[in-house]
A and B are shown apart, each in its own frame.
Chain A
Amino acid sequence: MSSDIATSIPRERVRQVVRRPWRPLTIQLLGPLTILGGLVWAVAQPYRIVLLDRDGRGLYDYLFQAPLLAIAVGLVFTFAVAPGLVEDLATTERDDPAA
């Protein structure tokens, strides 16, 4: 075939996939950063952790200390919220790259 007539095989248009890798990473970091904040706080103010100083303390002193609550929130977010969110984000980006 003459090259004057033949045209090049049209290349499959490469879809411009907009990836935002920082989004899942940030989601995954939110929980651990919260846990880290609670741990640093517990080290900075160990007298808030009753296990080390039990005299005259009640149930609420054991359970409802602020650093422990912060760690608990971080754990809930890390294990209950973040994985599904990252999965859904990946699914959406795969199905609809413009999202």
Chain B
Amino acid sequence: MIPPPEGAHWVAGAIALLVGLLLIAEVLVGPEVFRRRAWRAYLFPALVLVSSVLLWVITIFSTFSTLHLLAHAVWAQAALLAGAVQLALVRGKLASPMWSLVPAAALFVSGVAFLVHEPNDWLYSRSAFLHHAIGWMLVVSALFPLGQALRPRQIAWRLGFAGTFVLLAVLLFADRDAAPIFGRYGIGGP
């Protein structure tokens, strides 16, 4: 009953899409309005923490490859840390915008893990292409929370952070276990 990897990636894409929509909504209405209802305020940290738990489950099943096991463990740990900090920010235990450095580090480490654990070139297969694309996207996207930490009033950082999750969802939805890169166009692939 273990789901195929592409199915797990699509579920992860759905969670990323929901997180992206929530963050876009928060940018549109502002944090004060968004956090007027407690369940909404806690939804983003909760989703990140649930993602972390699911990533740990996937880590357990990633015994077919040491690199996959390590990469998923790194993502799980990064998500756990980022989720915990977000939870503390919502609870009011933490207040400094400099805590945005934690999600910045989480995105950067996650991106590096994507890049390191893909042994093939960009054009080897759809999966290899997406690993490279997601890895570099996350490394670059780490700039958004970094900007939030340094200039918290700039709305562009928050919008960029939200857009990161929507783009991540699109890339995860495009994942296939075995497929040429652009499907019927036959570009790439072994």
- Contact partner, B14, options A31, A60, A69, Cβ 8 Å: A69
Known: A23-B29, A88-B29. 5 other contacts (CB 8 A): A64-B10, A66-B13, A73-B18, A77-B21, A81-B22
- Contact partner, B17, options A73, A89, A99, Cβ 8 Å: A73
Q: Please tell me if B36 contacts chain A, counting CB pairs below 8 Å.
A: yes
Interface of chain A, main secondary structure: helix
The residues of B that contact A66 with a CB separation of less than 8 Å are 10, 13, 173
Counting residue pairs across A and B whose Cβ atoms lie within 8 Å, the total is 68
The residues of A that contact B156 with a CB separation of less than 8 Å are none
The residues of B that contact A64 with a CB separation of less than 8 Å are 3, 7, 10-11
Q: Please tell me if B99 contacts chain A, counting CB pairs below 8 Å.
A: no
User: A84 near B24 (CB under 8 angstroms)?
Assistant: no
Which residues of B67-87 are within 8 A (CB) of A? none
User: B37 near A30 (CB under 8 angstroms)?
Assistant: no
Q: Please tell me if B91 contacts chain A, counting CB pairs below 8 Å.
A: no
Query: How many angstroms from the CA of A32 to the CA of B33 in the assembled complex?
Result: 22
Query: How many angstroms from the CA of A94 to the CA of B36 in the assembled complex?
Result: 15
Q: Tell me how far the C-beta of B147 lies from the nearest C-beta in chain A, rounded to whole angstroms.
A: 23
The residues of A that contact B34 with a CB separation of less than 8 Å are 85, 88
Q: Please tell me if B4 contacts chain A, counting CB pairs below 8 Å.
A: yes
The residues of A that contact B25 with a CB separation of less than 8 Å are 27, 30, 77, 81-82, 85
Pick the most buried of B18, B30, B40: most chain A CB atoms within 10 A of its CB.
B18
